[in-house]
């Protein structure tokens, strides 16, 4: 956990990255991911390409950045859960952050459209799955600390975290392919209840 506030420069950088990411989502949804160029993104942001590249190395990084931040947040959330809470329950609770993100009215149709772009674009989907794997590793490190099973030769904690992330992906895919017929959180509960370890 951070004990000192972020320097102003870093806060400003994060704010600009956040604005660029939201602007990009709007353009990608409107024009299509492949059809939107770096020139389009820089022009829409009112900056040069050179300035744009100070914040993101590529369009793909622009889309994927949120997943890296999410992994750090999930690990922090897990660390903050009650120490005596069963790990499966803790994982479901920290995944509540993901459910809230997808179910947020403020993001609504744009979020769904962007997630479908990620799912349907081969390069983005591969990058997404790589980011999910990295998120899983961050959460696994924290889960090993919580369970007291820090030996990497012990597969139990990795299996539990892996199963939980499989449930998260199953809920995500179902939610996107069924036009959000059920809230994401309900789908996640169903998936996790289906294989809840004892």
Q: Per DSSP, which regions of 60-100 are E strands?
A: none
Strongest mean pLDDT among 95-104, 109-118, 142-151, 185-194:
185-194
CB 92 within 8 A of CB 188: yes
Per-residue pLDDT tens over the stretch 136-161: 999 999 999 988 888 888 899 999 99
Q: pLDDT: is 87 or 14 the higher one?
A: 87
CB 175 within 8 A of CB 182: yes
CB 42 within 8 A of CB 36: no
Per-residue pLDDT tens over the stretch 118-137: 989 999 999 989 988 999 99
Torsion of CA 130, 135, 137, 138, to 10 degrees: 150
pLDDT at 123: 92
Residue 197 has pLDDT above 70, yes or no: no
Question: Which candidate, 106, 91, 46, 97, places its Cα nearest to that of 193?
Answer: 91
pLDDT at 69: 79
Question: For the chain, what are the domain ranges?
Answer: 1-57, 58-194
Whether 1-57 and 58-194 share one fold: the answer is no
Mean pLDDT of 10-19: 80
Mean pLDDT of 95-112: 79
Provide the pLDDT confidence category of residue 3 given band limits of 50, 70 and 90. very low
pLDDT at 107: 60
154 vs 133: CA distance, rounded Å: 19
Residue 106 has pLDDT above 60, yes or no: no
98 vs 192: CA distance, rounded Å: 14
Q: 58-194 — its CATH code?
A: 1.10.357.10
* Count of beta carbons in the 10 Å neighbourhood of residue 179: 7
pLDDT at 1: 43
Question: Which candidate, 104, 97, 95, 114, places its Cα nearest to that of 22?
Answer: 114
Residue 181 has pLDDT above 50, yes or no: yes
56-70, 103-117, 176-190: the lowest-pLDDT one = 103-117
Q: Is the pTM of this model over 0.85?
A: no
Per-residue pLDDT tens over the stretch 18-42: 888 888 888 998 999 999 999 999 9
Does domain 1-57 bear CATH number 1.10.645.10? Answer: no
């Amino acid at each position: 956990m951070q004990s000192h506030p972020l320097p102003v420069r870093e806060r400003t950088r994060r704010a600009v990255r956040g604005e660029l990411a939201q602007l990009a989502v709007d353009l990608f949804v409107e024009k299509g991911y492949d059809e939107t160029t770096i020139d389009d993104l820089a022009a829409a942001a009112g900056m040069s390409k050179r300035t744009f590249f100070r914040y993101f190395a590529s369009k793909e990084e622009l889309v994927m950045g949120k997943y890296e931040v999410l992994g750090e947040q999930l690990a922090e959330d897990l660390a903050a859960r009650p120490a005596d809470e069963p790990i499966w329950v803790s994982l479901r609770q920290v995944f509540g952050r993901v459910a809230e993100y997808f179910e947020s009215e403020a993001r609504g149709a744009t979020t769904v459209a962007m997630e479908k772009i990620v799912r349907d674009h081969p390069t983005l989907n591969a990058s997404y799955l790589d980011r999910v794997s990295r998120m899983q590793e961050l959460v696994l490190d924290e889960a090993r600390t919580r369970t007291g099973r820090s030996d990497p030769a012990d597969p139990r904690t990795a299996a539990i975290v892996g199963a939980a992330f499989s449930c998260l992906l199953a809920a995500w895919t179902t939610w996107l392919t069924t036009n959000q017929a059920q809230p994401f959180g309900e789908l996640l509960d169903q998936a996790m209840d289906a294989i809840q370890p004892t």
